[in-house]
Amino acid sequence: MQKYFRSSAWVLALGIMIGLIGLGALVSNAALQIKQYERSVTVKGLAEQELPADIVIWPIQFMLADNDLAKLYEKADNSTQKIRAFLLLNGLKESEISVSPPAIVDKSAQNYGNNNNPYRYTATQTVTVYSDKINAVRTLMPRMSELGKQGIVMTGNGYQSRTEYIFNRLNDIKPEMIEQATENARAVAMKFANDSNSELGKIKRASQGRFSISARDKNNPHIKNIRVVSTIEYYLAD
């Protein structure tokens, strides 16, 4: 009876050992397959377009000075009307023109600055054009000397007087550009796979970069360069 139990124990132990060896082989093979399947390559795809802006914001800023505050306001109104007439005469609409209140500085109320200035009051006035007629507005910009000949002192060096161009059609071109960036990334990944004697698999993960909109160059701020870079990781297989 004892011999029978011993024999059965040996058979059971041998079976367990064989099972563990088989299981180990299966796990090793599965781990190898998983490791091979986890091979991947990460690439970037770029898409770019150059398109004209949709909106121009053109601040026309001028300065005035006088010792009489009431006369200063009157001068500001007259200059504003001259600018408005100039813009309307050259194809802009009333709805595209806005006027901000004049910024008045009283020199006598300041404890610093040039006290030799003969005028007590100075005013800075801004007439702003907000229009989609970009070409028409750009044609008017070099003609501001016509207003200077009417006695209007223009200022154009400050940050607040910079012309701004806006591109509003990003949502219209997003799908096409993302598709272009993805195709570009896949072409790069295919080249890598071919060079490494591998096959390109499915996408493991992907991230879409931010869209950037910038002026094409400093001389053509109304032409916008739109770009996006997508980062995509592909599986590789032998």
pLDDT at 2 over 60: no
Q: For CA atoms 75, 78, 83, 84, give the dihedral sign.
A: positive
pLDDT at 208 over 50: yes
Assigned superfamily of 40-53+168-238: Protein of unknown function (DUF541), domain 1 (3.30.110.170)
Higher pLDDT, 227 or 238: 227
CA dihedral 31, 36, 37, 43 (to 10 degrees): 140
**The predicted structure's pLDDT at residue 158:** 60
Digit-coded pLDDT (tens) for 173-206: 999 999 999 999 999 999 988 988 888 888 888 8
Q: What CA–CA distance (Å, rounded) separates 163 from 227?
A: 23
Task: Enumerate the domain spans of the chain.
Answer: 1-38, 40-53+168-238, 55-166
Please tell me the least confidently modeled range out of 7-16, 27-36, 218-227: 27-36
**The predicted structure's pLDDT at residue 39:** 79
Q: What CA–CA distance (Å, rounded) separates 41 from 236?
A: 7
Q: Answer yes or no: are the C-beta atoms of 199 and 235 closer than 8 Å.
A: no
SS3 (DSSP) at 234: strand
**Cα three-residue angle 21-27-32, rounded to 5 degrees:** 125
pLDDT at 131 over 70: yes
Side-chain half-sphere of 141: how many Cα atoms within 13 Å? 18
Digit-coded pLDDT (tens) for 80-91: 999 999 999 999
34, amino acid identity = I
Q: What CA–CA distance (Å, rounded) separates 155 from 229?
A: 40
Q: Encoding tokens for residue 6? A: 């011993």
Q: What is the mean pLDDT of residues 206-231?
A: 93
Global model pTM greater than 0.85: no
Length of the chain, in residues: 238
Percent of the chain having pLDDT more than 90? Answer: 58
Q: Exposed/middle/buried for 152, CB within 10 Å: 0-12, 13-18, 19+?
A: buried
Q: Answer yes or no: are the C-beta atoms of 79 and 47 closer than 8 Å.
A: no
**The predicted structure's pLDDT at residue 206:** 87
Digit-coded pLDDT (tens) for 22-77: 444 443 443 344 445 567 889 999 999 999 999 999 999 999 999 999 999 999 99
Q: Answer yes or no: are the C-beta atoms of 86 and 139 closer than 8 Å.
A: no
Q: Answer yes or no: are the C-beta atoms of 107 and 113 closer than 8 Å.
A: yes
Q: What CA–CA distance (Å, rounded) separates 226 from 189?
A: 24
**The predicted structure's pLDDT at residue 192:** 87
What average pLDDT is seen over the chain? 84
55-166 topology per CATH = Alpha-Beta Plaits (3.30.70)
